[in-house]
Amino acid sequence: MPISYSSPLTPAPLSIRSLWLSTLAMVSALALSSAAFFAPSHFLPWLAGIELVLLVHGMLNKGKISGVVRYIVLQLLFTMALYLAIHGGNKVSEGILAVARILLAIVPGWWLTNTVSTEAIGAILSKVMPTKWAFVVVASINLLPYMANEVREIYQLQRLRGARIAPKQLLNPRNWGEFSYCVIFPLLVQLLKLARQTAVAAKARHFGYHAKRTLWPSQRSEHDK
């Protein structure tokens, strides 16, 4: 008996209103993230006010801000150590401004992933880029929490092994090489392994088998109840 790859379940199409709102959110997030780097310094307080609203909205949608806070704190420590090592205490304010711009560039993307479904992002991206590229982007967004957990586990295991990568120890530039060797390189290996597993999973599910793109809704089907 030939195997059928079709499913009795029909995915619910996204409404036009939902697609337009998602498109507006994506364009707004891109514009705000770009403005964080290219806008003059005197516009940054206005930009921070807008993103504060996005931050509150994302948290009301149960978005977790702890990961962003940890990243910014580590980025601030790293940048301050770098500026102090190169310029002394003369240009610390420039380092703080650089970290502030990074934070303003991150918040819109964080808000987007917490308020817009990946189904809508995939549907929009597939209209402006090849479907396989859109799949890669959406899969990468979905895997961000997993990647964050991988970084946390690798870091904690290396700390238990005695690696000199504690926050205070990373203030010393001599320990940056150990951080790269103990955390960055293992993470790259894990990401390559994850990319391979994702490709195999997509192939096993016959991704690209049909010329017409298919999309599953985020709601649970009646078979899952």
Return mean pLDDT, the chain. 77
Mean pLDDT, residues 153-177 = 83
**pLDDT higher at 166 or 53:** 53
**pLDDT higher at 15 or 53:** 53
Mean pLDDT, residues 179-187 = 86
166 Cβ partners below 8 Å, 6+ apart? Answer: 159
**pLDDT higher at 135 or 39:** 39
pLDDT band at 212 (very low <50, low <70, confident <90, very high): low
Q: What is the pLDDT of residues 29-67, one digit of tens each?
A: 889 988 988 888 889 899 999 989 988 888 888 778 887
- The sign of the torsion formed by the CA atoms of 135, 6, 8, 197 equals negative
pLDDT band at 9 (very low <50, low <70, confident <90, very high): very low
- Name the CA dihedral angle for 171, 176, 182, 185, rounded to a multiple of 10 degrees: 140
C-alpha span between 145 and 179 (Å, rounded): 21
pLDDT-wise least confident of 80-84, 163-167, 168-172, 220-224 = 220-224
C-alpha span between 87 and 182 (Å, rounded): 28
**pLDDT higher at 10 or 141:** 141
How far apart are the two ends of the chain, measured CA to CA in Å? 30
pLDDT-wise least confident of 40-44, 109-113, 221-225 = 221-225
Tell me what percent of the chain is helix, strand and coil, each rounded to the nearest 5.
75, 0, 25
Question: Tokens 């909205």 sit at which residue?
Answer: 57
C-alpha span between 82 and 86 (Å, rounded): 6
